[in-house]
């Protein structure tokens, strides 16, 4: 009972179903008198005390032991004939767990219902005793979503920018597409290099290490190892370009192919490569050739090369894609600001178990992205997860607040998700994951995924309703 679930996997949690929960959590030879899992938020935590009479406990022990006696195969005894004392000794742990699972779940759920709150996550056991011949005693705590008023939520607004695609944005994207398909052509005329040229070069740079600290050497510390040279072969650089180091620009301007040049480079402290940031290097540069980038003409031939029938069809595709992307970005950014405004207007304590679960979700998403980029599991294990979790907390808290508010508003407005909407979403997931639809439904039914998907769809619908109501440009 030390794990935590969230609104995402416990939708509309009017009760906590304790069936299957691991109540039987002990430490060898030690009393179980401390909580596990996240430190719960005291503002939204309730305590439960459950006691079951000794007579009921003993009767349950006898019933469970009898079942084990009938089924157990004990060497030297016919099935069902082994003495109960042997059965109880051999299967003590399993029998105790089954007794707890038989007596606690319904009593726990009833006790939660009597509290009149909407619990989230799994309860944390503080005390548990369940021995034959003695009363069963449980002391547990759980978090819940406090009831809070959202009166006037309809009046909370934020600026709603226009999502209309500007002419400059469209033309910039068309130009970007042309730039991506530019070709490099040699400059035939005999002339020096000038700004705007692309130059093919090879180079070797020796990094200048800082001198060792005398005190450190005197104490026996090793001097820093020499830094490996920085090299490049047949590299294309744009003279005067934003990505070209100023020292390279100065050295290359006015030079011609075949020349050998030198350049002294001081890398800025915030340079993208940490190994070079703040260091100096002496470069030898060999100029190989001058080239120019030639952009393709913006015509039907260009459009066909891009996979479209003609230029008009290509432009229509680009426009539709940009309009859709901008509309989604504006909606997402506006909704985020609206959620923040709602959270500021309607303050409420947030269960810590939900925050921790959201941190888990964010970290899992980040680790999957790192894995997709090629990071090995051994490298991931070296990450500072304490620091990473702390860095995710603020965003996770904001997301949980938004989820709770959306759930509360959805109930207020009776927003629901139809079976047709669910079917459509499952079909999309099936296509994206290439998992057969029937198999997908079975898996999601078993792991509770269907409820989570329906809940997220309802939140999305609620957010869309609030967004459409905002005053602002219809674009």
Q: What is the mean pLDDT of residues 423-448?
A: 94
Can you tell me the mean pLDDT for 104-114?
90
Q: Stretch 445-468: mean pLDDT, rounded?
A: 94
Q: According to the model, what pLDDT value does residue 224 have?
A: 53
Q: What is the pLDDT of residues 257-267, one digit of tens each?
A: 999 999 999 98
Spatial contact of 165 and 315, defined as CB atoms under 8 Å apart: no
How many angstroms separate the first and last alpha carbons of the chain?
A: 50
d(CA 10, CA 120): 7
Domains by residue range for the chain, with CATH:
7-152 (3.30.70.1050), 153-182+299-327 (no CATH), 184-212+223-294 (3.10.50.40), 328-469 (1.10.3120.10)
In 130-189, the DSSP E strands lie at 136-145, 183-186
pLDDT tens-digit profile of 377-425? 988 999 999 999 999 999 999 999 999 999 999 999 999 999 999 999 9
Q: Please tell me the distance from the alpha carbon of residue 123 to that of residue 23, in angstroms, as a whole number.
A: 9
User: What pLDDT, on the 0 to 100 scale, is given for residue 329?
Assistant: 96
Helix (H, G, I), strand (E, B) or coil at 147: coil
Q: Classify burial at 219, counting beta carbons within 10 Å of its beta carbon; exposed 0-12, middle 13-18, buried 19 or more.
A: exposed
Report for 61-75, 103-117, 351-365: range of highest mean pLDDT: 351-365
Alpha helices (H) in 268-384, listed in sequence order = 300-305, 311-345, 352-372, 377-380
Q: Is 199 helix (H, G, I), strand (E, B) or coil?
A: strand
The HSE-up count of residue 336 (CA atoms within 13 Å, CB side) is 11
Cα separation values, 115 from 111, 118, 404, 408, Å? 7, 9, 20, 20
Q: How confident is the model at residue 474 (pLDDT cuts 50, 70, 90)?
A: low
CA angle, residues 417, 422, 424, in degrees to nearest 5: 130
Q: In what order do the strands lie in the sheet with 136-145?
A: 45-52, 136-145, 118-129
Specify the 3-state DSSP secondary structure of 364.
Answer: helix
Give the pLDDT score at 122: 84
Biggest distance spanned by C-alpha atoms of the chain: 105
Instruction: Report the range out of 15-29, 222-236, 258-272, 354-368 with the highest average pLDDT.
Output: 354-368
Question: Whose CA is closest to 134, among 106, 96, 98?
Answer: 96
Mean pLDDT is highest, among 68-82, 194-208, 320-334, 370-384, for 320-334
């Amino acid at each position: 009972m030390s794990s935590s679930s969230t609104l995402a996997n416990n939708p509309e949690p009017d009760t906590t179903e304790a069936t299957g929960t691991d109540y039987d959590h002990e430490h060898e030879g030690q009393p179980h008198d401390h909580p596990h899992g996240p430190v719960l938020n005291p503002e939204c935590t309730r305590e439960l005390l459950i006691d079951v009479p000794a007579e009921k406990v003993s009767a349950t022990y006898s019933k469970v032991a009898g079942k084990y006696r009938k089924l157990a195969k004990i060497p030297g005894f016919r099935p069902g004939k082994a003495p109960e004392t042997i059965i109880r000794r051999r299967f003590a742990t399993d029998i105790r767990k089954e007794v707890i699972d038989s007596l606690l779940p319904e009593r726990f759920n009833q006790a939660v219902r009597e509290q009149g709150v909407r619990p989230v996550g799994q309860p944390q056991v503080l005390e548990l005793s369940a021995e034959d011949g003695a009363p069963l005693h449980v002391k547990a705590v759980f978090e819940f979503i406090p009831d809070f008023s959202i009166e006037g939520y309809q009046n909370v607004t934020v600026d709603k920018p226009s999502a209309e695609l500007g002419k400059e944005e469209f033309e910039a994207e068309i130009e970007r597409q042309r730039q991506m398909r530019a070709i490099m052509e040699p400059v035939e005329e005999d002339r020096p290099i000038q700004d705007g040229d692309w130059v093919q070069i090879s180079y070797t740079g020796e990094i200048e290490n800082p001198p060792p600290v005398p005190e450190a050497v005197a104490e026996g510390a090793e001097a820093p190892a020499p830094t490996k040279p920085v090299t490049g072969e047949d590299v294309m650089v744009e003279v005067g370009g934003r990505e070209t180091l100023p020292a390279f620009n100065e050295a290359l301007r006015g030079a011609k192919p075949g020349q050998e040049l030198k350049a002294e480079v001081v890398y800025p402290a915030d340079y993208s490569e940490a190994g070079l940031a703040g260091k100096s290097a002496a470069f030898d540069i060999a100029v190989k050739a001058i080239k120019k980038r030639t952009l393709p003409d913006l015509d039907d031939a260009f459009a066909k090369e891009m996979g479209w029938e003609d230029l008009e069809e290509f432009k229509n595709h680009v426009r539709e894609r940009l309009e859709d992307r901008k509309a989604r970005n504006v909606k997402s950014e506006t909704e985020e600001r609206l959620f923040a405004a709602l959270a500021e207007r309607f303050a409420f304590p947030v269960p810590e178990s939900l925050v921790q679960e959201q941190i888990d979700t964010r970290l899992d998403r980040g680790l999957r992205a790192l894995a997709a980029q090629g990071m090995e599991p051994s490298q991931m294990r070296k990450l500072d997860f304490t620091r990473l979790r702390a860095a995710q907390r603020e965003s996770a808290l904001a997301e949980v607040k938004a989820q709770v508010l959306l759930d509360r508003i959805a109930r207020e407005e009776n927003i629901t998700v139809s079976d047709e909407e669910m079917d459509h979403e499952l079909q999309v997931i099936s296509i994206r994951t290439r998992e057969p639809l029937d198999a997908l439904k079975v898996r999601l039914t078993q792991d509770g995924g269907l409820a989570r998907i329906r809940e997220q769809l309802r939140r999305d619908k609620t957010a869309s309703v609030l967004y459409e109501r905002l005053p602002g440009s219809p674009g």
